[in-house]
Structure 1
Amino acid sequence: MPVWIEYFAVAVCAITAVLAAEGKHVDLFGVLVLALVTAVGGGTIRDLCLGVRPLFWIAEPLHVWTALTAALVTFVLVRFTHLPHKLLDIADAFGLALFGIAGTEKALALGTPGIVAILLGIVTGVAGGILRDVLRQEIPWVFKADVNLYATAVFVGALVFVLLRQSLPASESHRYIGMTVILVMRLAAMRWKLRLPTYRTRTD
């Protein structure tokens, strides 16, 4: 996994945390906490599940500085210009794609079975956002019916990546195909309101 992918994912997720703080009257410290939790939360849970020590952001503290810098720049920027709310959705989709495949690839590299790698890819992609939303006292996006094909997109993209990796000779393209599947599915779901069936009983 090229190092730039994980750093870029950290920066993007930190930016989503700042944008998600709109209207919550959070000060700079609170914004930076949200950014760090969002940027490293999923990868931390992944590494704990895999027994990786030290955790990725402890082994490479530049991840922390990347998240803090991206959050600080965004915090300042939004004070002088209005950023469209759609930007949060798009930035989150990129973070989902990058972290989803990064988590899956790391799990595969450590010898986990394919289905476990896929699940850890989902955890890496969505757990930071769950923690962010819990701290904002919001229902996490991944559990909202009106947030279309969120974890599902990660599942499909990670599945495609694992199948390519296990059935074909190793290629860098597999990683980017998986990321593209996640990104395209998420953006298409946002555009055309694609979603899974909502749980209902006969009495609803």
Structure 2
Amino acid sequence: MESALLFQILYFVAIIAEAMTAALAAGRREMDWVGVCLLGCVTALGGGSVRDVLLGRHPLSWVEHPSYLLITGAAALATIAIARYMHHLRRLFLFLDAVGLVVFTVIGCNVAIGLQMPVVIVIASGMITGCVGGVLRDILCTDIPLLFRAELYATVSVVTGGIYIAGLHTGIPHDIIIVFAMLVGLSLRLLALRFGWRMPKFVYTQSLH
């Protein structure tokens, strides 16, 4: 029960952090307050929504728990009031974003496992939950999504999901597996940010004519 409570707290921290970072992106695009609120909700809850639609799981999480919309919308709007101080919290938000990535990944894996999906779908479900919210944010802000800019983001999600799935077949207690998978994923993401680790880029400049 204690681990479930901790997981729920981490989930709320994650969606609030995602909503607030989305609000800053909305501010850079000079969106109105409705746009700020909408972008915050889409970013925080979009990954889980896309996952549920693809897996045929209903109702969607925010439909089942309307409070999620209120929490993420309020967090996005609150960012407007404290935006001038946000540059001091950049490292904190990068850390919380990394926490959100691994938490969402494990949640997505658990949803697919509960639906008795194959391993590949389980890992894909984790990645969708962890990454697609940010993709939707970047698309709505007309940016190239972070997922496609060579950063170790989707890779971290896949590694986290892979370790989690592998651990479930070892007989190790479930809580330990969750913590271990998230710690490895979190460490990998933070190390990638610290040292600038990136995936190889594909560069093609030749004309076909």
Taking structure 2 as the reference length, the TM-score comes to: 0.87
Cα offsets for 1:15-61 (capped at 9, x unmatched): 12112234211121111111011011100011112211111110111
Counterpart CA distance in 2 for 1:59 and 1:130 is: 23
Counterpart CA distance in 2 for 1:182 and 1:70 is: 26
Partner of 1:69: 74
1:136 to partner: Cα distance: 0.4
Counterpart CA distance in 2 for 1:5 and 1:106 is: 17
Q: Does 1:21 align with 2:23?
A: no
Check conservation: 2:14, 2:96, Cα contact below 8 A: no
Counterpart CA distance in 1 for 2:194 and 2:185 is: 14
Report SS of the residue matched to 2:28. coil
Pairing of 1:97-108 with structure 2 (within 5 A): 97-108=102-113
Check conservation: 2:17, 2:93, Cα contact below 8 A: no
How many residues matched? 201
Q: Does 1:160 align with 2:149?
A: no
Partner of 1:139: 144
Report SS of the residue matched to 1:164. helix
Cα offsets for 1:134-193 (capped at 9, x unmatched): 000100000012xx2110000001100010012224421211222222211111001111
1:12 to partner: Cα distance: 1.9
1:202 to partner: Cα distance: 10
Residue 19 to residue 177, structure 1, CA distance change in 2 (3 Å): farther
Partner of 1:8: 13
**Unpaired runs of 5+ in structure 1?**
none
Moved more, 169-178 or 52-61: 169-178
Check conservation: 2:14, 2:97, Cα contact below 8 A: no
Partner of 1:41: 46
Q: More helix by proportion, 1 or 2?
A: 2
Counterpart CA distance in 1 for 2:119 and 2:24 is: 34
Pick from 181, 202, 206: which aligns with 1:199?
202
The residue identity in structure 1 corresponding to 2:170 is S
Pairing of 1:169-180 with structure 2 (within 5 A): 169-180=172-183
Amino-acid identity (%): 34
Counterpart CA distance in 2 for 1:95 and 1:20 is: 17
Check conservation: 2:19, 2:76, Cα contact below 8 A: yes
